[in-house]
Amino acid sequence: MNDKPRSTEEFLKGLWNENPVFVAVLGMCPALAVTNSAINALAMGLATTFVLVFSSLLVSLFRNIIPKQVRITAFIIIIATFVTVVDFLLAAITPVIHKELGAFIALIVVNCLILGRQEAFASKNKVGLALADGLGMSLGFTFALLCIGVIREVLGNGSLFNISLFGDNFEPWVIMILPPGGFFALGFLLLFFNWFIQRRKKQNETKTQEI
Amino acid sequence: MSEEKQYTDPAANFTDEKEPSSLKLIFALGIAGFLSGILLVSAYLYTLPMIEANKAAALQKAIFKVLPGCHSFQSLALIDGELMEESELGEVTGKQQKKGEAPKKIFAGFDDQGKFIGFAIPGSEPGFQDIIGAIYGYDATKNMIIGFEVLESKETPGLGDKIFKDPDFQSNFASLETEPDILAVKKGKKVNPNEVETITGATISSKAVVRLLNKSLKEWKLPVSEYLRKNNMDLTNNLKK
Amino acid sequence: MENENLIWIFISALLVNNFTLSYFLGLCPFLGVSARLETAFRLGLANIFVMIITAICSYALNTWVLPYAPYLRLISFIIVIASAVQFVEMAVKKLSPELFRALGIFLPLITTNCAILGLALFATNKGYGFVEGLVYALGAGGGVTLALVLLAGIREETRILNIPKLIEGTALNLIIAGILSMAFMGFAGLFSAG
pLDDT at B220: 85
**Cβ contact, residue pair A73, B44, below 8 Å:** no
> Distance between CA atoms of C17 and B131, rounded to whole angstroms?
11
User: Are residue B32 and residue B118 in the same domain, yes or no?
Assistant: no
**Looking at the domain assignment, is residue B15 inside a domain?**
no
**According to the per-residue pLDDT averaged within each range, which of A126-140, B67-81, B116-130 is highest?**
A126-140
pLDDT value, residue C179? 92
> Do residues B69 and A106 make contact, with C-beta atoms less than 8 angstroms apart?
no
Domains held by chain B: number: 2
Distance of CA C69 to the CA centre of its chain: 27
Neighbours of A142 (CB within 10 A): 23
Q: Inter-chain contact B44–C70, Cβ cutoff 8 Å?
A: yes
pLDDT digits (tens, 9 = 90+) for C24-52: 888 877 777 777 888 888 888 888 888 99
Residues B105 and B199 in one domain: yes
pLDDT, position A83? 92
Nearest to A198 among C27, C166, C174 (CB): C166
pLDDT(B139) > 90:
no
pLDDT(C184) > 80: yes
User: Is residue B224 situated within a structural domain?
Assistant: yes
Task: Give the structural domain span for B161.
Answer: 68-240
- Residues B190 and B197: their CA atoms lie apart, in Å, by 6
Q: With an 8 Å Cβ cutoff, is B161 touching chain C?
A: no
Contacts of A32 in chain C (CB under 8 A): 24, 27
Domain identity same for B120 and B221:
yes
Mean pLDDT of A4-27: 79
* C176 compared with B79, residue with greater pLDDT: C176
d(CA C162, CA A138): 37
**How far is the CA of A45 from the CAs of B24, C53, C88, in angstroms?**
37, 31, 36
Dihedral, A138, A144, A149, A152 alpha carbons, nearest 10: -160
Task: Say whether pLDDT at C166 is over 80.
Answer: no
pLDDT the model gives residue C135: 93
- Same domain membership, residue B197 and residue B95: yes
Do B58 and B75 belong to one domain? no
Q: How many CB pairs under 8 A join B and C?
A: 31
DSSP assigned state of C105 = G
**Amino acid C160: pLDDT:** 85
Tell me the three-class secondary structure of chain A, residue by residue. Answer: CCHHHHHHHHHHHHHCCCCCCCCCCCCHHHHHHCCCCHHHHHHHHHHHHHHHHHHHHHHHHCCCCCCHHHHHHHHHHHHHHHHHHHHHHHHHHCHHHHHHHCHHHHHHHHCHHHHHHHHHCHHHCCHHHHHHHHHHHHHHHHHHHHHHHHHHHHHHHCEECCEECCCCCCCCCHHHHCHHHHHHHHHHHHHHHHHHHHHHHHHHHHHHHHC
Q: Is residue C152 part of a domain?
A: no
Contact B111, B235 (CB under 8 A): no
The answer to whether the Cβ–Cβ distance between A74 and B28 falls below 8 Å is yes
Tell me what the mean pLDDT of segment B214-235 comes to. Answer: 76
Question: What phi and psi, each to the nearest 5 degrees, are found at residue C25?
Answer: -95, 145
Give the three-class secondary structure for C11: helix
CA distance B177 to B146: 9
Tens of pLDDT, residues B71-121: 888 888 877 777 777 666 555 544 444 444 567 788 888 888 878 888 888
Could you give the CA distance from residue C115 to residue C20 in angstroms, rounded to a whole number? 8
Contact A95 B55 (CB under 8 A): yes
pTM of model > 0.90: no
Partners of chain B (3+ Cβ pairs below 8 A): A, C
Higher pLDDT, C108 or C100: C100
Confidence check: pLDDT of B7 > 50: no
Domain count for chain C: 1
Among candidates A69, A81, A177 on the partner chain, residue whose Cβ is nearest the Cβ of B39: A81
Q: What is the dihedral of CA C179, A152, A19, A46, to 10 degrees?
A: -130
Query: Domain check: are B174 and B79 in the same one?
Result: yes
Distance in Å, alpha carbon of C194 to nearest chain A alpha carbon:
24
Q: Is residue C135 part of a domain?
A: yes
Cα–Cα distances in Å, from C173 out to A90, A191, C158? 34, 11, 10
**pLDDT the model gives residue B151:** 85
Sort out which chain C residues have CB atoms less than 8 A from B40's CB and list them. Answer: 71-72, 75
In this complex, is the C-beta atom of C95 within 8 Å of any C-beta atom belonging to chain B? no
Q: Which of C21, C171, C185 sits opposite A194 (nearest CB)?
A: C171
Q: How far is A6 from chain C (nearest CA, A)?
A: 31
- With CA atoms as reference, the chain A residue closest to B47 would be A92
- B30 lies within 8 A of chain A by CB: no
Give me the number of domains chain A comprises: 1
In a domain, C173, yes or no: no
Of A84, A183, A188, nearest to C181 by CB-CB distance is: A183
Same-domain status, B118 and B3? no
Q: Determine the pLDDT at residue C2.
A: 57
Q: How many other C-beta atoms can be found within 10 angstroms of the C-beta atom of residue B215?
A: 15
Judged against a pLDDT cut of 80, whether residue B236 lies above it is answered with: no
Same domain, B149 and B224: yes
How close does chain A come to C125, measured CA to CA in Å?
A: 8
Alpha carbon distance B218, B40 (integer Å):
43
ipTM of the complex: 0.84
- Binding partners of C (≥3 Cβ pairs within 8 A): A, B
Chain A residue with CA closest to C23: the answer is A33
B133 domain residue, yes or no = yes
Cβ-Cβ pairs closer than 8 A, A with B, add up to: 73
**Whole-angstrom Cα distance, residue B205 to residue B130?**
10
The residue segments making up the domain with residue A19 are 3-210
Measure the CA–CA gap between A25 and C97, rounded to whole angstroms: 35
Q: Are residues B118 and B169 in the same domain?
A: yes
Please give the Cα distance from A88 to C71 (Å, whole number).
9
Nearest to C192 among B100, B156, B208 (CB): B208
What is the domain range of residue C83? 36-142
Mean pLDDT of chain A: 85
Nearest Cα of chain A lies from the Cα of C127 at a distance, in angstroms, of: 13
Co-location of B151 and B80 in the same domain: yes
In contact, A88 and A105? CB cutoff 8 Å: no
For A139-151, how does the pLDDT look when each residue is reduced to its tens digit (9 = 90+)? 999 999 999 999 9
With contact defined as 3+ CB pairs under 8 Å, the chains touching A are: B, C
- Mean pLDDT score across all residues of chain C: 83
Asked if the C-beta of B33 comes within 8 angstroms of chain A's C-beta atoms, the answer is yes
